[in-house]
A and B are shown apart, each in its own frame.
Chain A
Amino acid sequence: MIKRIHTFALTILAIILSVMFSACTDSDNLVFDEDNTSPISVSAFMAKSFDSTAIKVKSDTIIHGDSILFIANIYPSRSIRIRNSYWLLDNKFYASEFNVHDAIPLSGEHEIVFVLITYFGDTLTDTLHLWISSPPILDSKKYIPANGSQNIPPQEDMQFVWSAYDIDSICALYYHFTLVNLLDEENSEPNLIDTIISTPYFNMNRELKPLSQYRWTVQAYNEYNVPSTATISSSFTTSGIGDEGAIAGKLKMSNEDLFTDIDLIVLDKQKKPTNIKTSIEKTPTNGLFEIKPLPPGKYNITAQCKKGKDFVADTIQATVNAGQITTIGTLYMADKTPPTIQSEAGTDTLDFADTLRFIITDGGAKNAIGSTTVYIGNRKVTQYITETQKLIVPTIEEDRTWVPQFVTIITTDDSGNTTTKSFVLRPSILWFDTNHDTTISRQSNITIFIDDHNPYSFKLGSVKINPNGDVKGTITLDAEGETSIKYEMEGEAFFKNKQEVVTTVFYTNGISQSRSWTITLNEPPVMSYENNCYSPCSGVSTSSVLFRWYPAEDAEKDSILYRLNIALASDTSSDTTHYYYRSKHLKRTQLLLKDLPEGALFWWVEAEDPYGGNSGEWSHKAKLFIMSDEDYEKFMRAESDSTSTLEGQ
């Protein structure tokens, strides 16, 4: 029985162990699956900083003393189990961190290796190459030819000498040498010489231009292409033929577009222009100029601008030596003249209108309207129209008021000169009517009227009429108790052919309103016997006559109408003048009349313009003697015989 129990217990134990064993074992996981493995690899890089945007490289050259970052990347991750990792610098232990930021003190070529020993003992490496070099030292003060050397013969070989050394004494040096004509350089022309040489001197056997400025530059590089911090940039000038000299300089002005319109003027000791350079065409972008050739002596140099009269140049004195170019530095052309602002009417007081018109002028060549600000009252006008020198400012409903207000215009030219000018804008709401712009003949009169219709029952006190320069001056009229005033003026009373007349009403409560209008005086046409009689101006004629006259002279070139007058007596001044004939108003300058009475007659023509201006009678009239056809024939025959006898004698 005990044995049976024992056997049963063993069986149960075996089953339990079997179950436990099978439960703890996943047979699939024990099988090696190549797809589930992750290969381990390392890569190393260098970067100048920790910045994520820093460029990572495998090899680099840095300047002695600069620090650099060595970065080790491990795949699939830095957290895998490893035995060891470290950096080697030139085969010696360097560091054990994954990232090392350090400045390697030794110049030269270095090999940096990242070493990783995996958990299974495999060694993985990646190698970096680093060159550390100090920049070469170039003496930027000691060289041949010295800066500013002159009288260099342009046709001979030229020697350039400088000195440099490698502070580490491990590198050979080479030099980047360039030579350029100074004006060509400023115009981005290619260098005359652009070469790399291994010696600290250079012999140039290239012919140069006489009396020209050149610049040469040198920068030293070592074998690792590290450049010297210093560079040599030096200029020299070539000599001219004989004693020829030159003046060089730079023109500076705020508006460089005008460079091509500049005249450079060189005045000798007697202040006579000896050399005028019409433009700086060689250097349109920077104003460099050379004036040559000039004989040795003392000169004054100035400039003038053809397009921008506001630009005024300094005058610089210079002495020209034989074979040398005298550099005068910078010749400034300054524009200190601000723009001018005026109304199109020429007055500072303006009538309210839909558009206000102004003229802005500036001698700085560019249109100064471009930077203009306009205020009507306190309102800044944001929309206005600019044309060449014209500023057109539209008014809006908000600008309408019965009180005067200011129109302020601020404009700045290209040189920064600002002009601010204010105009008085008359009220837009007027309580009276007066004349509008009108044209009359100077021979006629004009009635100036004021009709008050103010809605507030203000009482008129007086009225002023200011014809602005009229012979009568300001006319003041008493208007107390009146609502309508009239005043008549002769056209002859106005000096100018066109002028502004200001009409102002003064109310008894102190309020006044003004309005301006323009009167244009039209000059009458002019005719005279001496200037306008064409034919027949004297002599005898048959009863059929074609009267012809020259057109009248009219200052305004108006359309003229003519009236032919024929009288039987020369005196036409009295009312009893007997006009034989007065024509209608004619556009043409001739008229045929038949059956004229025999005997003497006098004729003249009056011209009349559309404004009623009349040339009046001729002071001397044309006189004709009319004959019958028979008598006229006899008269002509007798005249002919008389002429023949005279010729026969």
Chain B
Amino acid sequence: MLSAGIVLSACFEIPSKPNEKESVKSISVYVKQDGVIDSTLLKIHPQDPAEISVTVHPNEYSDELEFNWYREEDGRKATRLGDGTKFHINKNASASSLPNKLVATDAEGNSLVSRFDIIINSPPKIDSIIKPQPSDTLYGNENTSFLFEWISHDRDNEEFSHTILLDGKAYAVGDFSSIRQSGFEKGEHTFQVIVIDNYGDSDSSEVIDFFVMNKGDK
């Protein structure tokens, strides 16, 4: 009888104390701009406003926490920039005006810290295709090297590279702004330039149609 009682009692889960809560495991931030959420790179562009939001795990304790956004520089005391679960970023904000530290505090004074860096990156831009112009006719034969030339830039003056598409065939041409290529049969062909920076932001030119004809066809 005694042994049965021991076994039975072992099968019952001992409940928590009534006032004891589970702790918040972690907090993390993400950015949202133009309806697009980025929780990995935390990358925004300066042309539109954006906001930084916090995610709490488990989420049900979010309301019981107090959030403060700080800007922390090396060797300096952190500057508090705001509070709440969201931090609004104005258009054309500079990186130094954005928080890089979030402190979440509960009623007992326990706190969790999340450090992050918001990237403000402007995508590179194809300014123009110089050669060939849309519907240009290039005279030559299959061995004639034709010039393909374009202008592009990066607003942040960061490194960027190009991929050109000749009749849909891609060539990674680095930072070149022109190449010469041959092997075009008589007829219609296409040319397009794509520029991409180190953050993966890119811009594409329109698809240029051009024609190759033999000189005798003039």
Check if B143 sits within 8 Å of A161, measured CB to CB. no
B92 interface contact, C-beta 8 A: no
- Known contacts A144-B181, A145-B182, A149-B181; is-contact A161 B172 (Cβ 8 Å): yes
Note all chain A residues with C-beta closer than 8 A to B142. 148
Check if B173 sits within 8 Å of A159, measured CB to CB. yes
Check if B171 sits within 8 Å of A161, measured CB to CB. yes
The tally of residues in A whose CB lies under 8 Å from a CB in B reads 22
> Which of B141, B171, B176, B182 contacts A321 (CB under 8 A)?
B141
**For window 178-195 of chain B, which residues contact chain A by CB distance below 8 Å?**
178-183
- Known contacts A150-B143, A321-B141; is-contact A144 B179 (Cβ 8 Å): yes
A239's nearest neighbour on chain B, judged by CB, is: B145
**For window 177-208 of chain A, which residues contact chain B by CB distance below 8 Å?**
199-201, 203
Note all chain A residues with C-beta closer than 8 A to B174. 161, 199-201
Nearest CB in chain A: distance from B147 CB, A? 9
What class of interface size applies to chain B in its complex with A?
10 to 19
A158 interface contact, C-beta 8 A: yes
Q: How far is the CA of A158 from the CA of B180 in the complex (A)?
A: 8
Hey, which bits of chain B sit against chain A, CB under 8 A?
140-145, 169, 171-174, 176, 178-183, 215
Check if B176 sits within 8 Å of A145, measured CB to CB. no
- Further pairs besides A150-B144, A150-B145: 13, Cβ < 8 Å: A143-B171, A144-B171, A145-B145, A145-B182, A148-B183, A149-B180, A149-B182, A159-B173, A159-B180, A200-B174, A201-B176, A236-B145, A321-B141
Q: How far is the CA of A324 from the CA of B183 in the complex (A)?
A: 14
Nearest CB in chain B: distance from A28 CB, A? 74
- Known contacts A144-B179, A144-B181, A146-B181; is-contact A151 B173 (Cβ 8 Å): no
Note all chain B residues with C-beta closer than 8 A to A321. 141, 215
A163 interface contact, C-beta 8 A: yes
Interface Cβ pair total, 8 Å cutoff:
64
The 10 closest A-B CB pairs, nearest first, are: A146-B183, A149-B182, A150-B143, A201-B174, A149-B145, A159-B179, A146-B182, A161-B173, A151-B145, A159-B176
- Interchain residue pairs with CB less than 8 A apart (12): A144-B173, A145-B182, A150-B182, A151-B140, A151-B145, A152-B180, A161-B176, A163-B172, A200-B174, A321-B141, A321-B215, A322-B215
Q: How far is the CA of A143 from the CA of B181 in the complex (A)?
A: 9
A142 interface contact, C-beta 8 A: yes
- Known contacts A142-B169, A200-B172, A324-B144; is-contact A148 B179 (Cβ 8 Å): no
Note all chain B residues with C-beta closer than 8 A to A148. 142-143, 182-183
Nearest CB in chain A: distance from B207 CB, A? 19
Q: How far is the CA of A152 from the CA of B179 in the complex (A)?
A: 11
Nearest CB in chain B: distance from A603 CB, A? 90
Note all chain B residues with C-beta closer than 8 A to A158. 180
Q: How far is the CA of A149 from the CA of B173 in the complex (A)?
A: 18
Q: How far is the CA of A146 from the CA of B140 in the complex (A)?
A: 15
Note all chain B residues with C-beta closer than 8 A to A161. 171-174, 176, 179
Q: How far is the CA of A488 from the CA of B50 in the complex (A)?
A: 135
> Which of A150, A201, A236, A324 contacts B173 (CB under 8 A)?
A201
Q: How far is the CA of A149 from the CA of B145 in the complex (A)?
A: 6
> Which of A142, A152, A159, A322 contacts B178 (CB under 8 A)?
A159
Nearest CB in chain B: distance from A139 CB, A? 10
Note all chain A residues with C-beta closer than 8 A to B180. 144-145, 149, 152, 158-159
Note all chain B residues with C-beta closer than 8 A to A150. 143-145, 182
A325's nearest neighbour on chain B, judged by CB, is: B143
Check if B145 sits within 8 Å of A163, measured CB to CB. no
